[in-house]
Structure 1
Amino acid sequence: MTFLDRRSVLRAATSAAAAGALASGCAPGRTGSPAVRVSTPPHTGGPGAPRPAPVYAARPPTRVPDGPVQIEHGPRDGRAVALTFHGRGDPRLATALLREAERAGARVTVLAVGDWLDERPEMARRILDGGHELGNHTMHHRNVCALPEDAAYAEISRCADRLRRLTGSIGSWFRPSRARRATDLVTRLAHRAGYPHVLSYDLDSLDSTDPGAAAVRRTVLDGVGPGSVVSLHLGHAGTVAALPPILDGLRRRGLRAVTTTELVT
């Protein structure tokens, strides 16, 4: 996609929503940042040339000492929230959303679907290189909590394998697909695959129903508070358009959007 300024990105996102070009959504020690800055390539251009971006490596699964097995929110006495995105859909919309977050100095958590990573492996690197966090949202986005044990474990472990191959890590978090909370079985299977915790959320933006950018913004800002973990989706144009006013609304309340790892550790 050619470079678009912020206004053009939002116009393109709104047009895509009107045309119905949307991806399917879901049913209802301190680490600081999601990735380790490994190196910054040397600056070889002239004085006006842009500096190359730093290179990031994926973090291992996050462990919260004394934290619950299923994490729904972070500390309520802080000033941070986590915007978490179900990772699937048009990579142009995903890239536009990441760019909006980065422009505002925000960092997000993307729980990627494995077959999306198979189709768009470059997105794993794009997410991490933007300073964001990457996790596991199952291989095919099936109703993992309704599957037999072997099939459910395959959904978790195969996505973990994709993440390991692309980034060197199975990702910071596991979130069940098509479920807000994992069953006891899925929680045990996630632990077997290497995830100490299951990531849930306490605020559903309902953006996967495509209610429009204004409705997504209202739902998030009406329900958000310190420590919130918000469920959102990549691949929905209304979400791209809603993100800048959401981030502005958070800032006005003295809240900042951070990765889930930064929120809870």
Structure 2
Amino acid sequence: MPTDRRGALRAGAATALAGTLATACGAEPRPAPRSGRPASAAPAAAAAPAPRRWPGRPPEIAHGPRDRPRVALTFHGQGDPANARALLDHAEKAGARLTVLAVGSWLDQHPELARRILDGGHDLGNHTQRHLDIGAMSEAEAFAEIDACAGRLRRLTGSIGSWFRPSRTPHASDTVLRAARRAGYPHALSYDVDSLDFTSPGPAAVVANVTRAIQPGSVVSLHFGYPDTVAALPLLLADLERRGLSAVTTTELLS
């Protein structure tokens, strides 16, 4: 047999033996390279719902129909992500769906939470990029804040989100409403019940602030960033159940 032929056979046998020993020792074979998306890449999720125009509704919406036993619990999205996850877990355990108005800079720090919110069946919307006093801004400045957050949402979810809520004010001025429409939001979302959880009054006070004012169709303002809210939510959901009120997304509330 020619020398080069014998060398090739010996090399092939050595390669086969190495593969056998690696398998016997529990080593995983290295996958062959392939073209296309890396194996670690997750399949693309469906795009988030886009804003809707609600005929007959004002440019700023503060509550839904009063003749149905539904309410919307809306959360300003920023703060400790552990609080956010706990609140989402509490809601889902109780069969409730929330509306989260996310701050763009918060999404920059915790981008995975955008998909976590949507995967739980909740609404996700825009609460400006930096959570500044949008009422004190010019129309161009307000548009830049809204549009920057919209861009974050689009990159993370495929749409600019279902809702816009102005930052540091319960009500949108005409200037802010114009900027929001230009950014793609036909309506601003306000509320008719304020939990005052941002004052850290204790869980019992958070629940009392909501339950003494809530009625069918109410939109409630809450926040992700406060431990009192995490402790209060199970109590609040239990109280709503006793009253026969369902916590649904704002989109469901108005549908």
How far did 1:56 drift?
5.4
How far did 1:148 drift?
1.8
Higher helix residue share: 2
Tell me the equivalent position of 2:98. Answer: 108
Tell me the equivalent position of 1:157. Answer: 147
Find the aligned partners of 1:119 and 1:154 in 2 and give their Cα distance.
19
The amino acid across from 2:72 in the alignment is A
Give the TM-score of the pair, scaled to structure 1: 0.78
Is residue 140–residue 179 contact of structure 2 (8 Å, CA) maintained in 1?
A: no
Tell me the equivalent position of 1:243. Answer: 233
Tell me the equivalent position of 2:59. Answer: 69
Tell me the equivalent position of 1:206. Answer: 196
Find the aligned partners of 1:95 and 1:235 in 2 and give their Cα distance.
11
Is residue 56–residue 128 contact of structure 1 (8 Å, CA) maintained in 2?
A: no
Structure with the greater alpha carbon radius of gyration:
2
The amino acid across from 1:89 in the alignment is G
Deviations 1:69-124 (A, max 9, x none): 10000000110000000000111110000000000000000000000000000010
Find the aligned partners of 1:211 and 1:56 in 2 and give their Cα distance.
39
How far did 1:225 drift?
0.5
Q: Does 1:82 align with 2:72?
A: yes
Is residue 205–residue 230 contact of structure 1 (8 Å, CA) maintained in 2?
A: yes
Tell me the equivalent position of 1:5. Answer: none
Deviations 1:32-64 (A, max 9, x none): xxxxxxxxxxxxxxxxxxxxxxx6541010221
Is residue 56–residue 129 contact of structure 1 (8 Å, CA) maintained in 2?
A: no
The amino acid across from 1:198 in the alignment is A
Q: Where does the alignment leave 5 or more consecutive residues of structure 2 unmatched?
A: 1-44
Is residue 117–residue 124 contact of structure 1 (8 Å, CA) maintained in 2?
A: yes
Q: Does 1:146 align with 2:141?
A: no
Find the aligned partners of 1:203 and 1:91 in 2 and give their Cα distance.
24
**Which runs of structure 2 are paired with 1:12-51 in the superposition (5 Å)?**
none
The amino acid across from 2:182 in the alignment is R
Q: Where does the alignment leave 5 or more consecutive residues of structure 1 unmatched?
A: 1-54
How far did 1:151 drift?
1.3
Find the aligned partners of 1:104 and 1:221 in 2 and give their Cα distance.
18
Tell me the equivalent position of 1:29. Answer: none
Give the TM-score of the pair, scaled to structure 2: 0.81
Tell me the equivalent position of 2:87. Answer: 97
Tell me the equivalent position of 2:3. Answer: none
Question: What is the root-mean-square deviation in Å for CA atoms of aligned residues?
Answer: 0.8
Tell me the equivalent position of 2:33. Answer: none
How far did 1:167 drift?
0.2
Find the aligned partners of 2:120 and 2:56 in 1 and give their Cα distance.
30
Tell me the equivalent position of 1:60. Answer: 50
Tell me the equivalent position of 2:249. Answer: 259
How far did 1:149 drift?
2.0
Deviations 1:121-168 (A, max 9, x none): 001011001111100000000000101222111100000000000000
**Which runs of structure 2 are paired with 1:130-209 in the superposition (5 Å)?**
130-209=120-199
Is residue 57–residue 128 contact of structure 1 (8 Å, CA) maintained in 2?
A: no
SS state of the match for residue 223, structure 1? Answer: coil
